[in-house]
Structure 1
Amino acid sequence: MATPAFPPPSMAEQERMVEAILFASAQPVSVRELADRLPAGSDPAEALAGLRKFYSNRGVALERLGDGYAFRTAADLSFLMQTETVEQRRLSRAAIETLAIIAYHQPVTRAEIEEIRGVAVSRGTLDQLIEMEWVRIGRRRMTPGRPATFVVTETFLDHFGLESARDLPGLTELRAAGLLDSRPPENALPPLVRADDDEDDAGGPADDLFDDD
């Protein structure tokens, strides 16, 4: 590896540079993206660690969101932003169940979602989640028909304050919070029906992906 023509900036200066990039970016920035912008020889990972420590007791915190980093309001001060950030979004039960399946089983195909839910997924359900930018299309499976998979996005992780999908609560935590009913026996799943009764069947971005049966 070639030696840089000039020595890298001091760590304090690298932290200032990373701080400036993160404040100016509307989206989380990855370590690789930071390395591409900083002078040769810089260590963005160390600069991020220093900034996270510096902002640990401030009004904003440096959070890891998926593969990227971004500044967010400190969790204990979020109530101050409540009137500015509250946004009503109505999700049907079908959409909530589909989103949960994608979050916990990603990458997952439409056929797999239908198998878990026991009902067919309408086009409107996936379209709504994609339009909200909580779900995106992942890689196609290397199986007959090359079905597309679905995964949650960094926007989803950011909304729920998660670093990664691994931070989702487990079954024990959900049951303790009263958010999960006792599961029926595996052989007692309802028969597969045509589609969600409460969903619009209008076409959308996922229309051409429904070929994975």
Structure 2
Amino acid sequence: MAEAAHRRTGSRSDDRRSADQLFNRELDHLPPEARWREWMHRVEATIFAASEPVTRETLARIVGKGCSIDLLIDDIREELRGRPYDLVAVAGGWKHLTRPAYADAIRAAVGSDEKAAELTQSDVLVLMCIAYFQPITRAELSSFFGKEISRDFIGHLRGAGLIASGPRSPAPGAPYTYVTTKEFLLEFGLDTLRDLPDFEALEDAGLLSKEKLLAGDIPLAVEATSLDDDDMV
């Protein structure tokens, strides 16, 4: 039985290799302008059809080896200028998204996206803290906010797919740490964590530091909007 499963797996791999060999990526028979146009169409069609952001590696399978994905994307976006949708870099790939200016019209027509996470202000504050300081433990989060961050609250964010367990902390007891996920990037429209506002610049300027925050040496702006008890259940 295991041998049969292995044969089926091998057969699927052979099929994929055969398909790759038959698929003409280079389009050498076309003049340069027509070749570039066809690559643009392939890339846009693939991103349009995908439910998740399409990575650079995936797009490289459908264009020539010497083709610049970034230049293709730039040309596609230029053609979409003035349209109500665009190609957006998010979560390590590209996704076809409507422009924010049309959000109200879309909601009026079809309602809100049921898959979108419903986040409270407390959720967002804790997520931002994890995003900047990851990997971070629940105890460190509690020290940051000056009140207990419950296991249930962490479970709520994990259940939404926005955070995951990171490496064990070297602190006594080796508690779990937490990190943000690809779903977090999607939720906040970020390509990578580097797109977060530059916290290092704030640290270099002496305005904020993780150590001082966790030691309680800096008054936290979040104290003015303290976490509701209902949110922390």
Normalised-by-shorter TM-score class = 0.5 to 0.7
> Does the aligned pair in 2 maintain the 1:137–1:148 contact within 8 Å?
yes
Could you state the TM-score of these two structures normalised by the residue count of structure 2? 0.60
Cα distance, 1:124–1:55 mapped onto 2, change above 3 Å: same
> Does the aligned pair in 2 maintain the 1:17–1:38 contact within 8 Å?
yes
Q: Distance in 1 between matches of 2:39 and 2:157?
A: 38
- State the superposition RMSD in angstroms: 3.7
Cα distance, 1:188–1:163 mapped onto 2, change above 3 Å: closer
- 1:29-68 superposed matches below 5 A: 29-35=54-60, 37-41=61-65, 42-68=67-93
Give 2:30's aligned residue.
none
* SS across alignment from 1:63: strand
Give 1:207's aligned residue.
none
Cα distance, 1:57–1:107 mapped onto 2, change above 3 Å: farther
> Does the aligned pair in 2 maintain the 1:14–1:44 contact within 8 Å?
no
> Does the aligned pair in 1 maintain the 2:169–2:176 contact within 8 Å?
no
Give 2:96's aligned residue.
71
Max Rg structure: 2
* SS across alignment from 2:41: helix
* SS across alignment from 2:128: helix
Q: Distance in 2 between matches of 1:46 and 1:187?
A: 45
Amino acid at match of 1:125: F
Could you state the TM-score of these two structures normalised by the residue count of structure 1? 0.65
Residue 127 of structure 1, aligned match among 147, 155, 175? 155
Post-superposition Cα deviations, 1:101-143, rounded to whole Å, max 9, x if no partner, equal 11332332333222212333211111111222222334x1573
* SS across alignment from 1:22: helix
Post-superposition Cα deviations, 1:79-112, rounded to whole Å, max 9, x if no partner, equal 211232265836373x343223113323323332
Larger mean CA deviation between 47-56 and 78-87 belongs to: 78-87
Structure 1 residue runs of 5 or longer lacking an equivalent are 172-182, 190-195, 201-213
> Does the aligned pair in 1 maintain the 2:87–2:97 contact within 8 Å?
yes
* SS across alignment from 2:81: helix
Structure 2 residue runs of 5 or longer lacking an equivalent are 1-20, 28-34, 200-212, 221-227
Amino acid at match of 2:130: I
Q: Distance in 2 between matches of 1:123 and 1:57?
A: 47
Q: Distance in 1 between matches of 2:185 and 2:73?
A: 19
Cα distance, 1:49–1:150 mapped onto 2, change above 3 Å: farther
Post-superposition Cα deviations, 1:38-61, rounded to whole Å, max 9, x if no partner, equal 245143232222222222321111
Deviation, structure 1 residue 27: 0.8
- % identity of equivalent residues: 29
Cα distance, 1:111–1:11 mapped onto 2, change above 3 Å: farther
Amino acid at match of 2:62: L
Q: Distance in 1 between matches of 2:197 and 2:72?
A: 30
Cα distance, 1:14–1:57 mapped onto 2, change above 3 Å: same
Q: Which has the higher contact order (CA 8 A, sep 6+)?
A: 1
Cα distance, 1:67–1:188 mapped onto 2, change above 3 Å: closer
Q: Distance in 2 between matches of 1:32 and 1:148?
A: 32
Cα distance, 1:131–1:166 mapped onto 2, change above 3 Å: same
Amino acid at match of 2:86: A
Residue 180 of structure 2, aligned match among 152, 159, 172? 152
